Structure 1
Amino acid sequence: MDGKIRKSELELLNEAFNIFNTATEKLQESYQKLKEETEKLRKEVEEKNQKLEETSSLLSSVLMSTNNAIVAIADDNSIILSNKKYKEYYEIYGDQFLSKLIEFKAEGSYEFDLKGAIFRVHIGKFEHSDVKGWTYSVEDITHLKELEEEHRRDEHLKSMGVMAANIAHEIRNPLGSIELFASLLARDLKNDNEKRVLIESVLKGVKSINSTISNILLFTKEVIVNKKEYYLSDIVDDVVLYLRHLMNDKKIKFVNKIDENFTIYCDNELMKQVFMNLIHNSIDAVNTGGIISVSCYQEGDFDIIIVEDNGCGINEDFMKKIFIPFHTSKTKGTGLGLSIVYKIIKAHSGNIYVESDGKSYTKFIIKLKRG
């Protein structure tokens, strides 16, 4: 009996042991599967973290390399985030740049001026965790504004040119008759000195008007350029030789800083007219003993020529209209000289700029493409 019991217990023990082994095997299988799933999840997490890191790095790279200044400013005016371009602007303009930005506290696009530069700023609101504030994307649009102004000037010059041409032709026809009749009258009155002097004054006035009309027509007609390579010093020397007597009268010192081997591609006669106008204006602007200089250098594919004087300067309001015809600060003159200069330079596919502090100097900068 006891043997049977022991046998039964052994069988139960074996059965339990078998069940335990089976459970252990299943547990090991489950553990292996769990281990494999865990490893799989770990790899997926690593891959996602890697992608997240790469995306974050890419976003940071884009943020830092964009030409726009990007800055996030909290409501308490503390900077949360900024990129390289913002730091460049801050180095140039200092706290004024930041102060200008925080003046704007509404979503939208705005423009502001700072030390002669023009900026456009796009503003959006952000909220992250418990931080609220504004994001600013700032771009320097100074050059764009200059191009817009140049386009408006060109359109204005074009419309004024058409009008001026019509007026010039309308005046020139009766003016020819006046000159003819005055000449005949002068011939008939050659023995009457008193009246002949009056007639000669009329003829002088007619010639003056005719000269003005010729300048107007020169301004209105299309400029045809025949470009060749010329030594810049030769062009300027010819002009200075012609104007030397005016410089001597005012004891003006002319400083020629042009390298004798420096050449430009231009229409020789038209370019002489450019320097004739610019240097003549400088002569009028400087006081006795003043200084006029011409210098040049190369900048990439462009020739840069500078005509500078230490005269009375040009005020800011007049500079905005300086190349528009019939605007002049002189008591005598038509205001066409610089308009013609502008037209000639544009015909050379170049550009001309003016700088002045309005009191002690004026600088005309000509930019011509080589070849």
Structure 2
Amino acid sequence: MHYAANIAIIRIFQKTKVLRFFCRREEKKVKSFNIKWKILLFGLCAALIPIALITTMYYLYLRTEIRDREINRFTALAKAKKNYLLLCIASKENRVIDFCSDGYIRESLEKITHGEYRSTIIQSLTKYLKTAKLPIDTHMLGIHIVDTEYNVIVSTDEKMAGKNIYTEEKLLTNMDFTQKKVYLYPLHFCSLCGMKGFHIISPIHHLGISRKEPLGYLIACFDVSAINEIFTDYRNIGDTGEVYLVNRDKIMITESRFVKDAPLQQKVDTEPVRKILESSQEMVGIYTDYRERQVVGVSIDIPDCQWILLAETDKAELFASLKTLGIISLVLGVSVCLLVSCTGTLFAASISRPIQKLKAATKSFSAGNFKGRVSLRRNDELGELANSFNSMADTIEREIQYSSHTMSELVKSELKYRSIINNTTALISIIDMNGRYLLINKEYENFIHKKTEEVAGKTVHDILPRKAADEIVIHDKKVFETKQPVQYKIQVDSDTGQHTFISVKFPIFKADGIMYAIGSISTDITDLKKMETELLHAQKLQGLGVMASGIAHELNNILAVIDANIQLLIKESKGRIKLLQALSIIREQCIDGAEVVRRMKEFTSTSVDPRKMIQVNMNSLVNNIIVFTKPLWKNIAEGKGLKYQLNTDCLKNVPNIKGNSPELREVVLNIFLNALDAMPEGGTISLSTWEKEGYVFLSIADTGTGMTDEVKAKIFDPFFTTKKKGMGLGMSVVYGIVKRHGGTIEVQSQPGKGSTFTLKFPATAEELPPQPSSKDDAGKKRKSKYRILLVEDELAIGKILENLLSDNGYIVQYVNEGRKAIDLLSKECFDLMLCDIGLPDVSVWDIIKFIETVEKKPKIGILAGIPDIKEKYKNGQLLAFDFIITSPYELEEVLSSVRRVFDNTV
């Protein structure tokens, strides 16, 4: 302590020039003092901490003991108050029972009941109660005797005579005197007496005769002061203690020490009251009272009286005795802390500065400043430690200077290596001798969508598809065995499709010549192969195009001459029927030949007429094709017992594309018809559209027979076909149209698993002419009050027609069953019923006959898949409908027919 105190004094006065020399001498003396003695000195001071802790723990123990003792004392006080209360109530009840046993009262009541000298006996009995009974108990406010009809016969209060206590106070309700001799009616304000009090009621029985029914009842009313005397005795409960009663309505019924006029007015909605009312659970503890003060309280339930007894005192007063003990403990603890802090500070001051210097030097050394040294002139252990550190720093500095150049070269080499492997487009990987990944480059990470950390320690079977992984393992074994590089071609499936790689595998050796890993460099040649295929295909098409163009030109000339001469012969052959028939057949063949020539010219065309370029919505195009081809996949197919399903749930909102609408329609129609042909036993066609990175995509997938790789490779070649009929120009024309529109077409197919054609076109933001609409104000959306009932069993067609009519302002109710249509027609009014002719459950003719029975008859439109239906029901002679549309039909034709029928109505 002597030396530590000296250090503190020295540093306080060190700034003065007079004491500077003395300070240096004393500080040097302290520094030379051995550290273990300083630690011993600090330990002696720290030994006082357990004493402070023991004192604090003893205080906590005493605090608990004192608190429990005070709470137990207060609980005992509350129970004593309860016992006093019950004794008081019992004495009052016994007095009332004694009154009911009085022979004079019973005899007088029997005479009154029998009507003998009634008025005289009532006066005599009243006087008897006032003089002989009422003075017995000073707390008794009045005595009333009532008959079995609850009418007051005799009362010490004359104004009570003749009143019915049941209607006034309902005192005798729910009281069973076969179980109890006496009842206590809880404290309340009695409107009969006009005072605050409680009633004790007991039956008066017949003299000498054992009867179940009483003669009447005696009711004694007692003043609340009888109870208040018990609870206003504040001895032994301090300055803030009080004991009071609360009824089941949470209202205080005795005097309060702190609130004036509290009985039957003060609300007591506190935690102990709620616990007793909700769960009959009494409480001892700390809570907030009705004055919003923290109190220590006890709650006791008195169920017979329907009361709750509460004994409470302020928390601060009850635990006041703990305050002094707490102050003593706090002072002792603070004193010990100050003493230990001072000695610790003095001890730290003698060693903290050199330790801080050592710490700063080591931190600077670890940061790369190898020139830093510790300047510390001491003769103790810290001085020896500083000298050892300086010696170590000198040695390390020499070693670092020696290796820094080598490290710099290694870093440069590593950066070059990393830059090369992470910026190449090839997939680079290194695996160990167990086939587990050690490293992959950025391109490899992008291909498998995993980081190097995720694949480290895994095998190729954990990362790549099994087929590719098996092939890679075979080549790895060759490198293991031969220790020579191996080159091969491999195909790997990924989420972006199938990729083709040229891979080179090579052994990696340690410095001692032992092989420890295999490196792999794989170059993706998928796009190169695709470009090569497309180039070959383009060259083939170009050659065929040149040839087809020349043939088409020559054939056009020949066909034109033949057609012209046939037309002349037809004019000159009047009356020669057989000749005319033969010439007509020849002319039809010429027309068919001209169509083939037109398609050949279309195939060879390399550009689109810009005047015919418009904005085309792919979804509208698809919907038109679905409606146009309905007779094929719906009516005719069902007639053959086939079932085709169309899935259009994935038609998303997509931007328009720029193109020739008829040509694009031909593309979609050709693929759609091929899909139907590929499903001779029926199946599902799924149509999807989406937009991605400025392109619009259309996918047409079927569940048909599929194609082999050989067929798939030739599908776009002109004159190639797998059908018995046809020239094989359909898909080649499709390919040419897609290419002219700047798009691409891809095919995915496997035998027995169906085919998927995916079309890709650039989305357009140019201002182009809109897609043509109907002649009757096409494209203008009308707001209409007309309600249309649409009945179409095919959901795909129904949704298309529903959206078409709704978008044009009509109120459309769509159902897919005839029975539902009849049910709606019986309940609601419609302006038009547009119904498919081939409903599976109810005939359209039955629906039309039902319409004849309704009050408001809608217009009727028929959607027919039978080509000659107009001839069978010409002008509606057999059936009463307003218009009929036969397949194939355009959506605009449906819209025009609906508008015409409503325009005629107006």
**Is the TM-score greater than 0.5?**
yes
1:83 aligns to what? 440
Matches within 5 A, 1:315-326: 315-326=708-719
1:113 aligns to what? 491
In the TM superposition, what is the alpha-carbon distance from 1:330 to its structure 2 partner?
A: 1.6
CA distance in 2, matches of 1:281, 1:228: 27
In the TM superposition, what is the alpha-carbon distance from 1:272 to its structure 2 partner?
A: 1.6
Q: For the Cα contact (< 8 Å) 1:250–1:288, is it kept in 2?
A: no
1:28 aligns to what? none
CA 1:310/1:165 → structure 2, altered by over 3 Å: closer, same or farther? same
- Find the partner of 1:43 among 389, 396, 401: 401
CA distance in 2, matches of 1:302, 1:178: 47
1:307 aligns to what? 700
Greater displacement, 138-147 / 177-186: 177-186
CA 1:56/1:260 → structure 2, altered by over 3 Å: closer, same or farther? closer
CA distance in 1, matches of 2:404, 2:606: 70
In the TM superposition, what is the alpha-carbon distance from 1:341 to its structure 2 partner?
A: 1.7
CA distance in 2, matches of 1:187, 1:174: 20
In the TM superposition, what is the alpha-carbon distance from 1:354 to its structure 2 partner?
A: 0.6
Question: Is 1:334 paired with 2:727?
Answer: yes
1:147 aligns to what? 531
Question: Is 1:167 paired with 2:555?
Answer: no
2:575 aligns to what? 191
Question: Is 1:179 paired with 2:563?
Answer: yes
> Per-residue CA shift, 1:177-220, capped at 9, x if unaligned?
22233333444445344443333332222222111111001111
In the TM superposition, what is the alpha-carbon distance from 1:70 to its structure 2 partner?
A: 2.7
2:410 aligns to what? 52
Matches within 5 A, 1:1-371: 39-40=397-398, 42-53=400-411, 55-56=413-414, 59=417, 63=421, 66-71=424-429, 82-83=439-440, 85=444, 88=448, 91-94=463-466, 95-99=469-473, 101-102=475-476, 107=485, 109-114=487-492, 116-124=498-506, 127-128=509-510, 129-132=512-515, 135-224=519-608, 226=610, 227-248=613-634, 249-251=636-638, 252-257=644-649, 259=651, 261-267=653-659, 268-371=661-764
CA 1:338/1:103 → structure 2, altered by over 3 Å: closer, same or farther? farther
Q: For the Cα contact (< 8 Å) 1:295–1:306, is it kept in 2?
A: yes
- Look up the SS of the partner of 2:704 in the other structure: coil
- 2:754 aligned partner, one-letter code: Y
Q: For the Cα contact (< 8 Å) 1:73–1:135, is it kept in 2?
A: yes
- 1:250 aligned partner, one-letter code: A
- Look up the SS of the partner of 2:553 in the other structure: helix
- 1:335 aligned partner, one-letter code: G
Greater displacement, 86-95 / 208-217: 86-95
- Look up the SS of the partner of 2:682 in the other structure: coil
In the TM superposition, what is the alpha-carbon distance from 1:36 to its structure 2 partner?
A: 8.2
Q: Normalized per residue, which structure has more helix?
A: 1
CA distance in 1, matches of 2:419, 2:471: 23
CA 1:188/1:146 → structure 2, altered by over 3 Å: closer, same or farther? same
CA 1:167/1:263 → structure 2, altered by over 3 Å: closer, same or farther? same
Q: For the Cα contact (< 8 Å) 2:490–2:502, is it kept in 1?
A: yes
- 1:309 aligned partner, one-letter code: D
Structure possessing the higher radius of gyration over alpha carbons: 2
- 1:48 aligned partner, one-letter code: T
In the TM superposition, what is the alpha-carbon distance from 1:124 to its structure 2 partner?
A: 4.7
- 1:164 aligned partner, one-letter code: A
CA distance in 2, matches of 1:77, 1:186: 87
CA 1:190/1:317 → structure 2, altered by over 3 Å: closer, same or farther? farther
In the TM superposition, what is the alpha-carbon distance from 1:264 to its structure 2 partner?
A: 2.4
CA distance in 1, matches of 2:437, 2:734: 51
CA 1:189/1:143 → structure 2, altered by over 3 Å: closer, same or farther? same
Greater displacement, 108-117 / 274-283: 108-117
CA distance in 2, matches of 1:225, 1:261: 27
- Look up the SS of the partner of 2:593 in the other structure: helix
CA distance in 2, matches of 1:336, 1:197: 30
Greater displacement, 223-232 / 299-308: 223-232
In the TM superposition, what is the alpha-carbon distance from 1:303 to its structure 2 partner?
A: 1.7
In the TM superposition, what is the alpha-carbon distance from 1:57 to its structure 2 partner?
A: 6.2
- Look up the SS of the partner of 2:689 in the other structure: strand
CA distance in 2, matches of 1:260, 1:316: 31
In the TM superposition, what is the alpha-carbon distance from 1:164 to its structure 2 partner?
A: 0.5
The alignment's TM-score, normalised by the length of structure 2, stands at: 0.34
Q: For the Cα contact (< 8 Å) 1:293–1:307, is it kept in 2?
A: yes
CA distance in 2, matches of 1:261, 1:38: 70
Q: For the Cα contact (< 8 Å) 1:230–1:265, is it kept in 2?
A: yes
In the TM superposition, what is the alpha-carbon distance from 1:120 to its structure 2 partner?
A: 0.8
> Per-residue CA shift, 1:106-155, capped at 9, x if unaligned?
65754233554311113556554332486431123223322221222222
2:781 aligns to what? none
Say what the alpha-carbon RMSD is for the aligned residues: 3.3
Gaps in structure 2 of 5+ consecutive residues = 1-392, 449-459, 639-643, 765-906
Gaps in structure 1 of 5+ consecutive residues = 1-34
CA distance in 2, matches of 1:104, 1:220: 51
CA 1:77/1:40 → structure 2, altered by over 3 Å: closer, same or farther? closer
- Look up the SS of the partner of 2:685 in the other structure: strand
2:40 aligns to what? none
In the TM superposition, what is the alpha-carbon distance from 1:292 to its structure 2 partner?
A: 2.0
Aligned residue pairs, count: 336
In the TM superposition, what is the alpha-carbon distance from 1:163 to its structure 2 partner?
A: 0.9
CA distance in 2, matches of 1:339, 1:201: 29
Greater relative contact order (Cα < 8 A, sep 6+): 1
In the TM superposition, what is the alpha-carbon distance from 1:165 to its structure 2 partner?
A: 0.5
- Look up the SS of the partner of 1:263 in the other structure: coil
The alignment's TM-score, normalised by the length of structure 1, stands at: 0.77
In the TM superposition, what is the alpha-carbon distance from 1:363 to its structure 2 partner?
A: 0.7
CA distance in 2, matches of 1:213, 1:322: 20
In the TM superposition, what is the alpha-carbon distance from 1:166 to its structure 2 partner?
A: 0.6
In the TM superposition, what is the alpha-carbon distance from 1:368 to its structure 2 partner?
A: 1.9
- 2:698 aligned partner, one-letter code: I
CA distance in 1, matches of 2:476, 2:465: 15
Greater displacement, 249-258 / 315-324: 249-258
CA 1:283/1:69 → structure 2, altered by over 3 Å: closer, same or farther? same
- Look up the SS of the partner of 2:722 in the other structure: coil
1:29 aligns to what? none
